[in-house]
């Protein structure tokens, strides 16, 4: 068996005696080394490979540096096994070349030996460190505290990692400008910080030059610039420098600006560190505000709530000024070579100024001590009675004015006020049912005026008068004429009453028929606001005038005429429906029907306007009744009829609060005397005419049991019957 071996010879470097090592499934011959960027001359011998064989062999080499990039760097002599280097290699591109060595039997070209081979490229310091950026531009706040991070830089060296050629050291080579209050320093990592205090007003920008240098035999380096921009902070307090304006304010006014405050600040204009805010101390009443002019930093003092001279003639205020941005302070006390410097800070002490605002006197209007008063009065109280007293005062201390009271608003004219004392009295009787009264309350406005001032100053007070209701109204029928259809059976119609008084002087009411018809007519029920008028089946078709007694809850009543037209209804159960039905009948029949109704009404009117010499008296009404029987006809005509001095004309019942009882229109005549006693003969009571219509008041009846009250409107008299 033949023993074979390898002999490695180095030309440039010694061959290794270490054994072969396994590499990627191949035996690796100890590597050769080539110095990066070798200057030549080329080619030069790198080494020789020998095989101890009894036969001739041929050497071959392939891989990187031969037939793979970088091609043409290496070659081997096929006979001698000498390896040659033909050109230089860049370590940063190819740090190692991996090749395959073969030895072939020259006679049959069979591969005798195949081994791997490494050629290491030895790095030289041919690359300087390079910064990622040539210029770094940063902005930091002026108030940044020392030791704080400013910026970090990084340089990269392409030489072999972990070698002195790629180990980088950083340092600051220059700082522009140089200021005694700041010192920059750089850490090994490339981070830049500072010691001391920035001052924007001293230097608002620094330019720092930094160097990165490797540790190669021949040290290579590069530089970069760092521009540090300062953002101005509030390290200067504003100072009040002056004021302009009169510092005078007229009392009772607002919106005026009596004073302008000036302030100065050394920080950059139009920044939050320069802009100021003013505040006011001593303005307990909230009378002032102060506005900052954004362009000048002036503080404009403005009155927002009127001042009162009588309350305070002078306003002493203190104005403070501070910046929008928080204040900071930094001062270098001691510098040290190692570590941070000693810094001191001072708390903010805002600038202030004391001012005095003079309040000028003006004529103030008088005012009521109690501008809203409430009073309770009885309805129909005594005229001339004392109601209340209002009191106004003049607030002016420098001059006193004469005050005069008067009624400002009082629609019904029920009250008067003493112009000197402010005492209020009843002038007219109070009517709770008046349209001027709302929910029982009547409002009077009293005016006080300064008589000796031009223009006169005024003020008002409101008197809310609650009028206690009295039972001074009787219940009334809502309608005093109805129609009803004749029927063999019992029929009825609805009757509704109302009372202008409130509870408990109103409904529900009691209804009763009095006089000659109470047997044929009745109410069912007889108690309520709306009841049914029931006709007996024996009553015949005609026009009836019923005397209805209506009593309120307190028993106060009225006797009122109710006209009932009893019709012979053929189709419909009442006269109104009958009219609608009869519209279908011919015009001749319709005319006859209308004529018949008019004749009935004419007869009724005639009976109302005639008084007879011999009259059948109705049943005497009990003296406890509280109202008069109103004019009515009787079934049997009397004799010796004459026309009375007045004509009572029936009208619809008024729902106005001024209509206390049933109203009748009375045509005005020149010779009115009094109501004929025959008209109210059923009462057997005398009658008095209030504000007698005769020129001779002696003709008026002196009895006060019954009273007529009259109102004049549009050449007509409206007469209401009152019971005293």
CA angle 173, 175, 180 (to 5 degrees): 125
pLDDT at 453: 73
Contacts of 25 (CB under 8 A, 6+ apart): none
Question: Among 165, 238, 258, 173, which residue's Cα sits nearest to residue 208?
Answer: 173
Q: pLDDT digit string (tens) for 490-540?
A: 777 888 998 887 788 778 998 999 988 888 888 989 888 889 888 887 888
The whole-angstrom separation of Cα 136 and Cα 154 is 11
DSSP state, 390? -
Place of tokens 């928080």: 326
pLDDT at 710: 36
Is it true that 239-360 and 367-468 share their CATH fold?
Answer: yes
Residues 434-457, mean pLDDT to the nearest whole number: 86
Give the containing element (helix H, strand E) for 604.
Answer: helix 587-609
Torsion of CA 510, 511, 514, 519, to 10 degrees: -120
496 burial type by CB count under 10 A (0-12 exposed, 13-18 middle, 19+ buried): middle
CB-based contact 430:442 (threshold 8 Å): yes
Return the CATH architecture of domain 130-231.
Answer: Sandwich (2.60)
590 burial type by CB count under 10 A (0-12 exposed, 13-18 middle, 19+ buried): middle
Question: Among 202, 158, 166, which residue's Cα sits nearest to residue 182?
Answer: 202
CATH code of the domain occupying 367-468: 2.60.40.60
**pLDDT surpassing 80 at residue 382:** yes
The whole-angstrom separation of Cα 192 and Cα 325 is 27
HSE-CB for 391 with a 13 A CA cutoff: 1
**For residues 313 and 703, which has the higher predicted lDDT (pLDDT)?**
313
Residues 200-229, mean pLDDT to the nearest whole number: 94
The whole-angstrom separation of Cα 89 and Cα 621 is 150
pLDDT at 378: 83
CB-based contact 83:32 (threshold 8 Å): yes
Q: pLDDT digit string (tens) for 232-290?
A: 888 889 999 999 999 999 888 889 999 999 999 988 899 999 999 999 999 998 999 99
**pLDDT surpassing 50 at residue 309:** yes
What is the distance of C-alpha 117 from the center of its chain?
89
HSE-CB for 465 with a 13 A CA cutoff: 29
Question: Among 331, 356, 354, which residue's Cα sits nearest to residue 344?
Answer: 331
| 211 confidence band (pLDDT: 50, 70, 90) | very high
Q: pLDDT digit string (tens) for 465-492?
A: 888 777 777 888 988 888 888 776 777 7
Indicate the range of 205-214, 446-455, 543-552, 577-586 predicted with least confidence: 577-586
Tell me the fold of 239-360: Immunoglobulin-like (2.60.40)
Neighbours of 530 (CB within 10 A): 14
The whole-angstrom separation of Cα 610 and Cα 637 is 10
Indicate the range of 358-372, 441-455, 627-641 predicted with least confidence: 627-641
Listed by start position, the domains of the chain span 6-122, 130-231, 239-360, 367-468, 648-723
The CA-to-CA distance between both ends of the chain, in Å, stands at: 167
Residue 578 backbone dihedrals phi, psi, to 5 degrees = -60, -40
Mean pLDDT taken over the chain = 76
Instruction: Give the long-range contacts of residues 673-680, CB within 8 A, separation 24 or more.
Output: 673/645, 673/699, 674/699, 674/700, 674/701, 675/646, 675/708, 676/611, 676/644, 676/645, 676/646, 678/611, 678/612, 678/615, 678/644, 679/611, 679/631, 679/644, 679/648, 680/628, 680/629, 680/631, 680/706
The whole-angstrom separation of Cα 557 and Cα 555 is 6
Domain 6-122 has CATH 2.40.30.260: no
pLDDT at 64: 92
pLDDT at 373: 92
CB-based contact 196:183 (threshold 8 Å): yes
Beta bridge partners of residue 551, listed in sequence order: 510, 557
CB-based contact 181:196 (threshold 8 Å): yes
**For residues 679 and 403, which has the higher predicted lDDT (pLDDT)?**
403
């Amino acid at each position: 068996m033949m023993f074979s071996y390898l002999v490695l010879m180095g030309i440039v470097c010694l061959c290794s005696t270490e054994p072969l090592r396994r590499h990627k499934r191949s035996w690796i011959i100890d590597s050769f080394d080539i110095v990066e960027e070798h200057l030549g001359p080329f080619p030069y011998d790198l080494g020789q490979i020998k095989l101890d064989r009894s036969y001739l062999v041929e050497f071959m080499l392939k891989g990187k540096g031969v037939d793979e990039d970088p091609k043409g760097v290496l070659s081997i002599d096929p006979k001698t096994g000498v390896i040659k280097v033909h050109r230089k290699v860049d370590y940063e591109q190819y740090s190692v070349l991996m090749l395959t060595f073969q030895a072939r039997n020259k006679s049959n070209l069979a591969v005798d030996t195949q081994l791997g081979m490494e050629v290491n490229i030895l790095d030289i310091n041919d690359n300087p460190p390079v910064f990622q950026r040539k210029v770094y531009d940063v902005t930091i706040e002026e108030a940044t505290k020392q030791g704080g991070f400013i910026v970090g830089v990084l340089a990269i060296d392409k030489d072999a990692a972990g070698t002195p050629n790629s180990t980088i050291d950083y340092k600051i080579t220059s700082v522009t400008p140089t200021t005694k209050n700041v010192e920059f320093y750089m850490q090994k990592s490339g981070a830049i910080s500072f010691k001391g205090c920035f001052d924007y007003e001293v230097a608002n920008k620094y330019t720092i030059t930094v160097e990165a240098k490797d540790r190669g035999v021949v040290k290579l380096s590069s530089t970069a610039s760092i521009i540090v921009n300062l953002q101005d902070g509030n390290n200067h307090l504003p100072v009040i420098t002056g004021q302009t304006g009169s510092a005078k304010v007229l009392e009772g006014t607002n919106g005026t600006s009596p004073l302008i405050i000036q302030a100065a600040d050394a920080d950059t204009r139009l920044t939050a560190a320069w802009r100021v805010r003013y505040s006011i101390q001593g303005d307990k009443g909230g009378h002032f505000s102060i506005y900052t002019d954004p362009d000048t930093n002036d503080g404009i003092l403005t009155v927002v709530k009127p001042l009162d001279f009588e309350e305070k003639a002078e306003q002493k205020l203190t104005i403070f000024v501070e910046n929008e941005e928080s204040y900071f302070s930094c001062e270098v006390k001691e510098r040290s070579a190692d570590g941070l410097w000693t810094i001191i800070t001072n708390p903010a002490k805002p600038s202030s100024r004391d001012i005095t605002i003079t309040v000028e006197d003006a004529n103030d209007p008088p005012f009521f001590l109690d501008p809203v008063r409430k009073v309770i009065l009885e309805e129909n109280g005594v005229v001339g009675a004392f109601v209340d007293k209002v009191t106004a005062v003049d607030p002016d201390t420098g001059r006193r004015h004469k005050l005069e009271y008067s009624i400002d608003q009082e629609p019904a004219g029920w009250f008067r006020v003493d112009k000197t004392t402010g005492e209020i009295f009843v002038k007219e009787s109070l009517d709770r049912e008046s349209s001027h009264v709302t929910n029982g309350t009547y409002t009077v406005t009293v005016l006080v005026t300064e008589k000796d001032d031009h223009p006169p100053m005024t003020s008002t007070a409101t008197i809310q008068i609650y009028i206690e209701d009295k039972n001074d109204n009787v219940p009334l029928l809502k309608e005093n004429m109805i129609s009803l259809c004749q029927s063999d059976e019992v029929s009825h119609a609805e009757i509704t009453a109302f009372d202008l008084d409130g509870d408990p002087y109103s409904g529900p009411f009691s209804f009763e028929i009095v006089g000659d018809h109470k047997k044929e007519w009745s109410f069912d029920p007889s108690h309520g606001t709306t009841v049914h008028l029931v006709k007996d089946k024996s009553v015949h078709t005609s026009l009836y005038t019923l005397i209805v007694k209506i009593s309120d809850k307190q028993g106060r009543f009225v006797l009122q005429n109710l006209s009932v037209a009893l019709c012979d209804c053929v189709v419909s159960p009442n006269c109104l429906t009958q009219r609608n039905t009869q519209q279908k009948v011919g015009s001749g029949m319709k005319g006859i029907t209308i004529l018949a109704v008019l004749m009935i009404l004419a007869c009724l009117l005639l009976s109302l306007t005639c008084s007879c010499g011999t009259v059948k008296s109705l049943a005497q009404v009990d003296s406890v009744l509280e109202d008069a029987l109103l004019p009515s006809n009787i079934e049997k005509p009397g004799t010796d009829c004459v026309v009375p001095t007045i004509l009572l004309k029936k009208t619809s019942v008024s729902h106005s609060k001024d209509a206390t009882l049933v109203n009748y229109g009375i045509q005005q005549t020149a010779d009115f005397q009094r109501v004929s006693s025959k008209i109210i003969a059923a009462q057997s009571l005398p009658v008095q005419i209030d504000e007698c219509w005769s020129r001779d008041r002696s003709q008026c009846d002196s009895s006060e049991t019954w009273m007529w009250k009259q109102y004049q409107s549009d050449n007509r008299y409206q007469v209401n019957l009152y019971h005293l």
